Amino acid sequence: MSYTLSDIIRKFRIDVSIEPYGNGHINDTYIAESDPKYILQRINNSVFKNPEQVMSNITGVTEHLRKKITDAGGNPERETLNLVKTVDGKSFYKADDGNYFRMYKFIEGAVSYDSVENPAQLYEAARAFGKFQSMLSDYPVDKIYETIPDFHDTGKRYAALEAAVDKDVVGRCGLVEKEIEFAFARRQDTNVIVDAIAAGKVPVRVTHNDTKLNNVMLDEKTGEGVCVIDLDTVMPGSLLYDYGDALRFGASSGAEDECDLDKIWFDLELFEAFTKGFLEEVGSNLTDEEIKLLPFSAKLMTYECGIRFLTDYLSGDTYFKIHRKNHNLDRARTQFKLVADMEKKMDTMSGIIKKYI
């Protein structure tokens, strides 16, 4: 690398000290400790094969959000990400070695959390995600690139699992017959949402596609949702994916890689907190078919994540980072435990949705 980070930030008309920041797993993130502060990121172009399409999506979406927030009397400097342009007026800088960098204004007085501490926290995150969806409901989907093709095509994720079982490249299938049987028994679920989209029953919307709690900034003093962040995966998709994936993460009683499955269940109090906040903001925009599929989407996104972990385990742990033996298997088992628990609670979940819709 023939340049330093100081060289890079000067491409954004900033010239201060810079150091690593945060604990993200995809992009390299740094903070410029100036007044005001700035966040610099190197985009991982191994994950995002076309960073310029990613930046086109982010630029269009954030400009749209700024206008909506301003028109509503809000504060666009805090309530959406704000890109800093380069000296050439671009939203990113491409270095000579092919690395892509971008800079955002730092959001003061707000924090993110890696795990849910109480239902009120999840409720505020849900309101932020719902508001994000609502403000983008009139954004033209044809202006958005699909930066990771088939990201939530559960049928294709299932086909990848079948292929991994057939190949059994590291000889692990005999160790996880119960998990494979669990995944195969739910094959009929895999194409429900994809088919509904293809049939025009579920609309294609501009979606976030990574709706974990830590992708919402919450106000340090009030705890209210301030800004939805990490917009790299903004793509055309179904609102059901965003709702379901948020609950896969947010309404679990334990960590994604918990080894003791007795500690894992689907928490209906957390489910209700998220559902209440989300539907308060976006409920009036939903179609009847989307409403019908909301509880199923939580199960589907959890199942999809489980089969992705199981596929990686059977393939020799080549995609997800692992930190111990059987890490991906532990992850798959927690997801499948949640799926089984959701199946028992589906009628209750449907009743909670009806309560708030």
Neighbours of 14 (CB within 10 A): 16
User: What CATH number does the domain containing 180 carry?
Assistant: 3.90.1200.10
Asked whether residue 157 falls in the same domain as residue 33, the answer is no
- Domain range holding 89? 5-108
Asked whether residue 104 falls in the same domain as residue 131, the answer is no
Contacts of 325 (CB under 8 A, 6+ apart): none
Asked whether residue 129 falls in the same domain as residue 172, the answer is yes
Burial 175-208 (b: 16+ CB within 10 A, else e): ebeebbebbeebeebbbbbbebbeeeebbebbbb
What total number of domains does the chain contain?
2
Alpha helices in the chain (DSSP H): 5-10, 51-71, 76-79, 119-135, 154-167, 177-184, 192-198, 239-250, 268-282, 288-314, 327-356
Asked whether residue 238 falls in the same domain as residue 183, the answer is yes
pLDDT in tens, the chain (357 residues): 678 889 999 999 998 888 888 766 678 899 998 889 999 999 988 778 899 999 999 999 999 999 999 999 999 999 999 999 999 999 999 999 999 999 999 999 999 998 999 999 999 999 999 999 999 999 999 999 999 888 899 999 999 999 999 999 999 999 999 999 999 999 999 999 999 999 999 999 999 999 999 999 999 999 999 999 999 999 999 999 999 999 999 999 999 999 999 999 999 999 999 999 999 999 999 999 999 999 999 999 999 999 999 999 999 998 888 899 999 999 999 999 999 999 999 999 999 999 998
Asked whether residue 18 falls in the same domain as residue 167, the answer is no
Domain assignment present for 240: yes
> Order of strands across the sheet with 110-111?
110-111, 216-219, 225-228
User: What CATH number does the domain containing 36 carry?
Assistant: 3.30.200.20
Domain assignment present for 114: no
| Dist CA 156 CA 152 (whole Å) | 9
Asked whether residue 96 falls in the same domain as residue 220, the answer is no
